[in-house]
């Protein structure tokens, strides 16, 4: 239905409690990139928050149909999927409810400048202990992103116990002496689909990987630093808290992975 006709109850638990989960899938000229991985992550998120939705596998076809109906099947686009627990009384333990399922498509306006590099700040990671669940409760992420915008930079990197976990909407990778470093996939980060693809590309290209967290003071001593996410792919980081990373230019491994990702996604 047209977005303007969609109605959601004010008693929907998503609205009152941020009680829900979501996914964002990228579509390249009508091809949904890594849709099985996104739906698998969605199932894991749903199971973790105890929302039962039996027909998640049908969402791939729904998404493809929506892209066609919105004439986005020949363009770059995103598919947003949100599921909340549904309608339930406020301030009570939620009983069985019919989950609200919402799927929409949007044209992707690529921010081409991002692939040439960005600046970031670091901030304390004040989020909860299950950042691996892709929940719609994104207030700490939104507040940190606002602080980044206030400082005129693209992203804020979260620091927990002295180590970089991830960005507000990105996973973080460093390069030191030829090895690609990134936080292990535990409860403190979202296991990004782009992150998984990047690690696969590193293996295919023979680039060594270490899934170990980067200490904050090491950030500007790295040879290269970059971010990944579904909508912006691979983004070089040139400055952290106003200090240059290496020579302040996108590094060779970052560039290699950027082009490998581009080739893979456009051929998917």
Name the residues annotated as catalytic.
134
By the rule CB under 6 A, 190 interacts with ligand PLP: yes
Which of 120, 193, 238, 253 contacts ligand PLP by CB under 6 A? 193
Structure tokens at 29: 């000229």
Residue 164: CB minimum distance to ligand PLP, A: 12
Which of 27, 194, 254, 258 contacts ligand PLP by CB under 6 A? 194
Name the residue with the smallest CB distance to ligand PLP: 192
Cα–Cα distance for residue pair 267/229, rounded to 1 Å? 18
b/e code 161-171 from CB counts within 10 Å (16+ = b): eebbbbbbbbb
Q: Which is nearer to ligand PLP, 193 or 238 (CB)?
A: 193
Q: Which is nearer to ligand PLP, 166 or 224 (CB)?
A: 166
**Phi, psi (degrees; rounded to nearest 5) at 172:** -115, 135
**Are the CB atoms for 94 and 88 separated by under 8 Å?**
yes
Q: Which is nearer to ligand PLP, 87 or 182 (CB)?
A: 182
Residue 99: CB minimum distance to ligand PLP, A: 21
Residues in the chain: 268
DSSP 201-250: HHHHHT--EE--PEEGGGGGGSSEEEEEETTTEEEEEEEETTEESTTSS-
Q: Which is nearer to ligand PLP, 86 or 174 (CB)?
A: 174
Cα–Cα distance for residue pair 188/167, rounded to 1 Å? 11
Residue 10: CB minimum distance to ligand PLP, A: 26
Site for ligand PLP, residues 115 to 154, rule: CB under 6 A: 141
Residue 194: CB minimum distance to ligand PLP, A: 3
To which H or E segment does residue 102 belong? Answer: strand 100-107
By the rule CB under 6 A, 192 interacts with ligand PLP: yes
User: What is the DSSP code (8-state) at residue 213?
Assistant: P
Nearest to 21 by CA among 104, 150, 176, 136: 136
Q: Which is nearer to ligand PLP, 86 or 213 (CB)?
A: 213
By the rule CB under 6 A, 27 interacts with ligand PLP: no
Residue entry with tokens 């995103």: 78
Residues that bind ligand PLP (CB under 6 A): 24, 141, 166, 169-171, 190, 192-195, 228-230
């Amino acid at each position: 239905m047209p977005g303007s006709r969609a109605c959601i109850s004010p008693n929907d638990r998503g609205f009152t409690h941020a009680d829900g989960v979501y996914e964002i899938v990228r579509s390249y000229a009508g091809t949904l990139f890594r849709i099985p991985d996104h739906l698998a992550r969605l199932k894991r998120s749903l199971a973790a928050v105890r929302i039962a939705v039996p027909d998640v596998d049908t969402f791939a076809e729904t998404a493809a149909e929506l892209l066609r109906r919105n004439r986005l099947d020949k363009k770059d686009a995103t598919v947003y999927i949100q599921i909340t627990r549904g309608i339930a009384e406020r301030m009570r333990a939620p009983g069985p409810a019919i989950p609200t399922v919402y799927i929409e498509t949007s044209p992707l306006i690529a921010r081409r400048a991002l692939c040439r590099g960005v600046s970031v700040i670091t901030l304390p990671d004040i989020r909860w202990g299950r950042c691996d669940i892709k929940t719609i409760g994104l207030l700490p992420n939104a507040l940190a992103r606002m602080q980044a915008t206030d400082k005129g930079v693209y992203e804020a990197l979260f620091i927990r116990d002295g180590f970089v976990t991830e960005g507000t909407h990105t996973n973080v990778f460093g390069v030191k002496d030829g090895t690609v470093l990134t936080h292990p996939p535990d409860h403190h980060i979202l296991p990004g689909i782009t992150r998984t693809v990047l690690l696969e590309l590193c293996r295919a290209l023979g680039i060594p990987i270490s899934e170990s967290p980067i200490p904050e003071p090491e950030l500007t001593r790295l040879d290269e630093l970059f971010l990944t996410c579904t909508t912006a792919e691979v983004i070089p980081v040139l400055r952290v808290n106003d200090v240059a990373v290496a020579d302040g230019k996108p590094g060779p491994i970052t560039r290699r992975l950027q082009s490998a990702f581009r080739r893979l996604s456009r051929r998917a």
